[in-house]
Amino acid sequence: MTDWYGTTLALDVELEFALDHVDLRGAMLRSRHGWRLELLCRPGSAAGLQAADPVEAALTRGFGHVALDVPDVDAAYAALLAAGATDRMSPRPSPEPGVRMAYVADPEGNLIELLDRTTPNNQGENS
């Protein structure tokens, strides 16, 4: 998944690590804007919550997805699908006024929410 996230989100591998005593591997990826995403892998581990849709993820306690604020939800959604993500909710107005949103799942089924809070023409879509 390090390669997929690195390529798809244009992130650089800042650090790779291994904690041999618990058989855990990880990587810290960094964006050109300075934010970081940590990915962990433990061979043989059980899958966590695989929510069927964004609503199920939101109604379940714990971390159900990662949310990314992007300048263009439609473009980010299309790029992630082209890179192998799966549609979970096509781009649409959010229940939050002035926000556009979409959801995809990465190749392992982890949900990624895309949000656009910056586009002025999103104002009033939910009125």
Rg (CA), the chain: 16
pTM (global) more than 0.85: no
Q: In this predicted structure, what is the pLDDT of residue 124?
A: 43
- Sorted by where each begins, the domain ranges of the chain are 1-43, 50-127
Q: Exposed e or buried b for every residue in 47-59, given b needs 16+ CB within 10 A?
A: eeeebeebeebee
Q: What is the pLDDT of residue 64?
A: 77
Kindly indicate the confidence band of residue 19, based on its pLDDT and cuts at 50, 70 and 90: very high
* Cβ count within 10 A of residue 60: 11
Looking at domain 50-127, its CATH architecture is Roll (3.10)
Q: How remote is the C-alpha of 46 from its chain's centroid? A: 20
